[in-house]
Amino acid sequence: MDNTFVEFRDLRKSYGALEVLHGINLAIGKHAFVVLVGPSGCGKSTLLRMIAGLEAITAGTISIDGRVVNRIHAKDRGIAMVFQSYALYPHMTVRENLSFSLEMAKTPKDVMVARIERAAGILHLDPLLDRFPAQLSGGQRQRVAMGRALVREPALFLFDEPLSNLDAKLRVEMRAEIKALHQRLQSTTIYVTHDQVEAMTMADLVVVMNDGRIEQSGRPLELYDHPATLFVAEFLGSPA
Ligand code: ADP
Ligand code: MG
């Protein structure tokens, strides 16, 4: 692939003597929306945290935009991450929650104001900017959490099961919002979920993981129609 933006080469992770990622190889194209899917405990969050620089790399390499980032500090990787438990700062308004990381990064005031305005517009947060987190619904809080990532205008967006605390109806709505956001920003996105439906409906590229390995990667329908292993067939519910 000549437009590769993120690449893993024989990436491994051990906690003590226990290896939990066993040699991950994958290339992700620029602007792609990639979904990492697999059962709980298969290593999705570990992989995502390694990309973000929140977890040490045991062996192998991660490259982002052509440069090996193993030794690059988290804050210099051009990444923003949205977690499942989107802890907002309870004593800050929505606007303050959005500006906090930019202030830490000493972003000039006018740039900060412009970015918050843009993120608020995209995520429909304008009427909420002066509220506190306790005055928001679950979906609104998740939008603020996305806004906090968005204001940093990352080249690479990481999502770790961002919708699993929301009810079913909201989950479906938010899937569409996240996709619309991606279409608009064209940031390369890696989205982790254990939900097959989420993977099949949202991904350009689905990567099925099992027990610290990639079982198969490909377009959703490719995987569904031509599962390479019994695990993939069963996990995606392909016809026998
Ligand atoms: P997933 O996100 O797919 O549910 P994780 O990446 O959280 O999976 O976990 C992968 C494996 O690594 C699991 O066996 C888990 O118990 C183990 N693990 C994760 N974090 C740690 C840690 N900090 N210390 C020890 N083991 C861990
Ligand atoms: Mg996880």
The yes-or-no verdict on residue 9 having pLDDT over 60 is yes
Please say if the pLDDT value at position 97 is more than 70: yes
For the chain, the DSSP string reads -TTEEEEEEEEEEEETTEEEEEEEEEEEETT-EEEEE--TTSSHHHHHHHHHTSS---EEEEEETTEE-TTS-GGGS-EEEE-SS----TTS-HHHHHHHHHHHTT--HHHHHHHHHHHHHHTT-GGGTTS-GGGS-HHHHHHHHHHHHHTT--SEEEEESTTTTS-HHHHHHHHHHHHHHHHHH--EEEEEES-HHHHHHH-SEEEEEETTEEEEEE-HHHHHHS-SSHHHHHHHT---
Ligand 1 centroid, distance to 193 Cα (angstroms): 14
Distance 211 CA to ligand 1 centre (A): 10
CA of 21 to the centre of ligand 2 (A): 13
pTM listed for this prediction: 0.92
Q: pLDDT band at residue 240, thresholds of 50, 70 and 90?
A: low
| Sign of the CA dihedral with 152 first, then 220, 194, and 180 last | positive
So what's the pLDDT on residue 200?
95
Confidence at residue 33, expressed as pLDDT on a 0 to 100 scale: 97
CB-based contact 138:84 (threshold 8 Å): no
Four-CA torsion 199, 202, 205, 209, nearest 10 degrees: -20
Residue 14 has what pLDDT? 98
Residue ranges around ligand 1 (CB below 6 Å): 15, 20, 38, 40-46
**Has residue 53 got a pLDDT over 80?**
yes
Q: Using the predicted structure, report yes or no on whether residue 2 has a pLDDT greater than 80.
A: no
Query: For residue 40, which ligand has an atom nearest its CA?
Result: 1
What tens digit of pLDDT does each residue of 100-140 get?
989 988 999 999 999 999 889 888 899 999 999 999 998 89
Confidence check: pLDDT of 222 > 90: yes
User: 38 CA distance to ligand 2 centroid (A)?
Assistant: 10
Which pLDDT score, from 0 to 100, does residue 93 have? 97
Note the pLDDT tens digit of each residue in 59-90: 999 999 999 999 999 989 999 998 877 789 99
Measuring from atom 7 of ligand 1, which residue has the nearest CA?
45
Separation of CA 111 and ligand 2 centre (Å): 34
Which of 46, 55, 58 most suits a substitution to test ligand 1, by most atoms within 8 Å of the C-beta?
Answer: 46
- Summarised one tens digit per residue, pLDDT across range 172-208 is 888 998 998 899 888 999 999 999 999 999 999 999 9
Edge-to-edge strands of the sheet including 33-37? 79-82, 156-160, 188-193, 33-37, 205-210, 213-218
From the CA of 160, give the closest atom in ligand 1.
2
Nearest C-alpha to atom 24 of ligand 1 is from which residue?
15
pLDDT of 28 reads 97
Model pLDDT for residues 138-175, shown as the tens digit of each residue: 889 988 998 998 898 889 999 999 888 788 888 888 89
Q: Does the pLDDT of residue 224 top 90, yes or no?
A: yes
